[in-house]
Amino acid sequence: MPRFYFHLRAQRSINHDLEGTECRNAIAARAHARRVAKELMSHSGAETRLWSIHVEDESGEPSSDVLFADVDAALKDFPPRTRELLREMGRQHAALIDVLCSMRSTLTNTRVVIAGASGGPLLVHSAGGRAGRRPTKARRFRGPRVRAIAPVGA
């Protein structure tokens, strides 16, 4: 059975699903994401309306996006225009988070290149995750209490 990954976009970051969940197909994965979103909404309230879940298949290809505003039962009493505005805000928020995370990744990669060009050792710290999926934090080696994992170019 195929494995899908459910990445939560919340606040200003993406919380990556590192384990994934087996689902019959993309339709079942989207249904699972909707159930998770409903469950999170039931425990969190209105502040989560702008959150979303980005679903990827096991090859890393996007499968679907589930906006919390689309599954928020409390919105049924709102005027249609208000519901649509909240959904559009959710889409915009998801796009903004994607851009912010991409910028952070680019900044990290730039720091790695600059550190390599200066010839000094580089400390690399990864928050974990599947290869190529999580941003890596890179810092210049400073002080005796921090050990460089590997000099750039070694």
Q: pLDDT tens for residues 60-97?
A: 999 999 999 999 888 889 999 999 999 999 999 999 99
Tokens of 151: 């000099």
* d(C-alpha 152, C-alpha 107), whole Å: 17
Domains: count for the chain: 2
Same domain for 77 and 13: yes
Same domain for 136 and 64: no
Report CA-CA distances (Å) from 88 to 92, 109, 141, 146.
Answer: 6, 32, 44, 45
Same domain for 21 and 7: yes
pLDDT tens sequence across 25-70: 999 999 999 999 999 988 887 888 899 999 999 999 999 999 999 9
125: containing domain: 107-151
**Adjacent-strand bridge partners of 150:** 122
